[in-house]
């Protein structure tokens, strides 16, 4: 269990992020086309998992925009925005913002991703959503970098995450 804060108040996650050097846990998330997507769908690509509570919040939107802008410099990588939002809401946001360098994936069918990656918030007003985190995987799905953002209202360290690519 990890401790983070929401507006300065302590809240907790169900576990810890995967360790660097470890093989990333597989996942099944839902695409905008309502198709199940797994880690294998991105085989051979480096991956940035931009894990956010909801694309309906300003900081989550800002991180999606920032990773979208910076992703074009990494053609061998894919940026995956993972949230509890419905795929329809994710698609609406990305279309309205012109985000074409990231792919949004939803936990609408299962919270297993959040549990397996140790980011499921277990208490407080955000219980059931994910903590803000970034996990970078190499082309073989080995964890190269992780960041659990200590305060939900803060942005991740974009430079460190992209440097890990």
Q: Please, which residues have CB within 8 angstroms of residue 162's CB and are 6 or more apart in sequence?
A: 48, 70, 73, 74
| From 11, 60, 77, 137, the catalytic residue | 60
CA distance 130 to 101: 22
CA distance 61 to 74: 20
Query: SS3 of 53, please?
Result: coil
CA distance 3 to 17: 12
94 a catalytic residue = no
Catalytic residue ranges: 60
């Amino acid at each position: 269990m990890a401790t983070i804060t929401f507006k300065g108040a302590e809240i907790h996650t169900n576990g810890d992020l995967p360790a660097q050097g470890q093989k990333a846990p597989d996942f099944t998330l839902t695409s905008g086309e309502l198709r199940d997507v797994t880690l294998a769908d991105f085989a051979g690509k480096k991956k940035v998992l931009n894990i956010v509570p909801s694309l309906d919040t300003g900081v989550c939107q800002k991180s999606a925009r920032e990773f979208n802008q910076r992703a074009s410099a990494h053609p061998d990588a894919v940026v995956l925005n993972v949230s509890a939002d419905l795929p329809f809401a994710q698609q609406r946001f990305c279309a309205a913002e012109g985000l074409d360098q990231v792919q949004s994936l939803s936990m609408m069918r299962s919270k297993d991703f959040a549990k397996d990656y140790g980011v499921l918030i277990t208490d407080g007003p955000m219980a059931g959503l994910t903590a803000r985190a970034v996990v970078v995987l190499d082309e073989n799905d080995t964890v190269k970098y992780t960041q659990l953002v200590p305060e939900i209202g803060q942005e991740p360290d974009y430079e460190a995450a992209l440097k890990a690519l």
